[in-house]
């Protein structure tokens, strides 16, 4: 077996170093010994946006970006999407194993019995502007839950953490649905514990005068699958926010608020909303070549395309595309679908996208399905946030249990001014 190390020669000094290699990685701290002189700080790695830096060792989600593979705790995403439910997948992500029948029943019970929110949170929501974006409302109100559950600060107690996890997974749909109802000026609908997790969410979103809301089973199933696909995605921007903020040990409500904020951006979970706006802006199939030309000229991006990790078709996008037909049959087709298909066809045969290995990602088709289900565009990133909450919690839990983790604190390379003498204001001259 070849030696598991890296031999480094520092050409500044001619010195040679032996750096251990473990899991195809070296520890950045092993570079610190590489110095030009004794007072030297030592060598660091410069990696803006963590493009090639692992910040943790994780057992939760595996991605092979070249081959388009995604697995949660070892289970292929395709199998989970076909056979599992969102809540079962959530249990798997948090606990590492699929639940047996009893564990599953207890888990559903716990999540179902934490769906209500304090009436004061509802009153807080009433004070948002009529046109407040639901993602802003969600981030603020989940942060506000921190003030209702002060014991959640005790983050080193595993039982306490589990309790907050039940609450968060159960209450996110309630906060999300109330945000939506607020934005359309409709009364908030309280949770219905007889319904499934997804069925209840649809109830809180859409119920009007009916005594009992009955969700459409095709749409309920489709949303459940979409939630499975969005449940975790290893060290993405919002998960890194969750781990980074969580590393200073605040309660999980404010950490989830930070992760929600990170997800909101159009380069991350806001992309599904941006895709829909882009398709509307293109307007019809004939205008697709003109739009692609503009993207290639650097005027904007093709939203829903490209990924930091996937350099082939996103496996989640494949599942969504297959599922779209069933949803469109139940809900009626989406006229924007033709534009999306044409965009994909042209982009996948265009050198610009082929050479950069830009393929549709999870957000390219998900918005079309959400829209066909009657879900408003503003709610798309909110749906992503509900589904991702369990991923954030699983990663947070793993971080807190990892003895190697400390408060996150990256280094910088300082390129600013050397020490300067302070100049009184009246003596300052513009150069």
> What is the smallest separation between the CB atom of 63 and ligand CMC, expressed in angstroms?
10
Give me the residue whose beta carbon is nearest to ligand CMC. Answer: 306
- Closer residue to ligand CMC in complex, CB, 202/262: 262
- Whole-number CA gyration radius for the chain: 24
Which two structure tokens, joined as six digits, stand for 234? 């290893």
Q: Is 40 known to be catalytic?
A: no
Identify the active-site residue in 182, 233, 307, 314.
Answer: 307
Q: Is 268 known to be catalytic?
A: yes
- Closer residue to ligand CMC in complex, CB, 206/359: 359
- Closer residue to ligand CMC in complex, CB, 170/231: 231
Identify the active-site residue in 192, 268, 338, 378.
Answer: 268
> What is the smallest separation between the CB atom of 279 and ligand CMC, expressed in angstroms?
13
> What is the smallest separation between the CB atom of 336 and ligand CMC, expressed in angstroms?
16
- Closer residue to ligand CMC in complex, CB, 215/381: 381
Binding stretches for ligand CMC (CB under 6 A): 233, 236, 267-269, 271, 295, 301-308, 356, 358, 361-363
> What is the smallest separation between the CB atom of 109 and ligand CMC, expressed in angstroms?
32
Q: How far apart are the first and last CA of the chain?
A: 63
Q: Is 83 known to be catalytic?
A: no
- Closer residue to ligand CMC in complex, CB, 48/416: 48
> What is the smallest separation between the CB atom of 259 and ligand CMC, expressed in angstroms?
12
Active site residues: 268, 307, 363
């Amino acid at each position: 077996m070849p030696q598991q190390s890296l031999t480094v020669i520092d050409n500044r000094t001619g010195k040679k170093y032996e750096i251990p290699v473990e899991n195809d990685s070296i520890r950045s701290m092993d570079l610190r010994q590489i110095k030009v002189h004794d007072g030297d700080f030592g060598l660091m790695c410069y990696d803006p946006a963590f493009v090639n830096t692992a910040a943790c060792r994780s057992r939760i989600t595996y991605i092979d970006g070249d081959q388009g593979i995604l697995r949660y705790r070892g289970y292929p995403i395709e199998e989970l999407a076909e056979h599992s439910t969102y809540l079962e997948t959530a249990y798997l992500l948090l606990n590492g194993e699929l639940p047996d029948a009893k564990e599953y029943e207890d888990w559903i019970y716990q999540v179902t019995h934490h769906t209500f929110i304090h009436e004061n949170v509802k009153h807080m929501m009433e004070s948002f502007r009529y046109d407040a974006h639901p993602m802003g409302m969600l981030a603020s109100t989940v942060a506000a839950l921190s003030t209702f559950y002060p014991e959640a600060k005790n983050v080193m107690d595993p039982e306490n953490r589990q309790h907050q996890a039940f609450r968060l997974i159960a209450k996110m749909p309630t906060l999300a649905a109330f945000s939506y109802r607020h934005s359309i000026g409709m009364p908030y609908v309280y949770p219905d514990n007889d319904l499934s997790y997804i069925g209840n969410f649809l109830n809180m979103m859409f119920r009007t005068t009916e005594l009992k809301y009955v969700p459409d089973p095709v749409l309920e199933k489709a949303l459940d699958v979409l939630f499975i696909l969005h449940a975790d995605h290893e060290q993405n921007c919002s998960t890194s926010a969750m781990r980074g903020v969580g590393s200073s040990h605040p309660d999980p409500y404010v950490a989830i608020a930070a992760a929600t904020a990170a997800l909101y951006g159009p380069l991350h979970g806001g992309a599904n909303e941006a895709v829909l706006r882009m398709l509307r802006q293109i307007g019809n199939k004939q205008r697709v070549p003109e739009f692609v030309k503009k993207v290639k000229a650097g005027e904007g991006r093709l939203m829903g395309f490209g990924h930091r990790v996937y350099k082939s078709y996103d496996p989640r996008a494949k599942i969504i595309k297959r599922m779209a037909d069933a949803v469109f049959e139940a809900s009626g087709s989406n006229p924007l679908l033709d534009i999306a298909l044409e965009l994909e066809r042209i982009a996948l045969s265009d050198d610009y996208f082929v050479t950069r290995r830009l393929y549709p990602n999870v957000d390219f088709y998900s918005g079309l399905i959400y829209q066909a289900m009657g879900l408003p565009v503003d709610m798309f990133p909110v749906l992503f946030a509900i589904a991702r909450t369990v991923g954030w919690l699983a990663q947070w839990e793993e971080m807190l249990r990892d003895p190697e983790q400390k408060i996150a604190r990256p280094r910088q390379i300082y390129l600013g001014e050397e020490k300067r003498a302070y100049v009184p204001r009246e003596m300052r001259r513009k150069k």
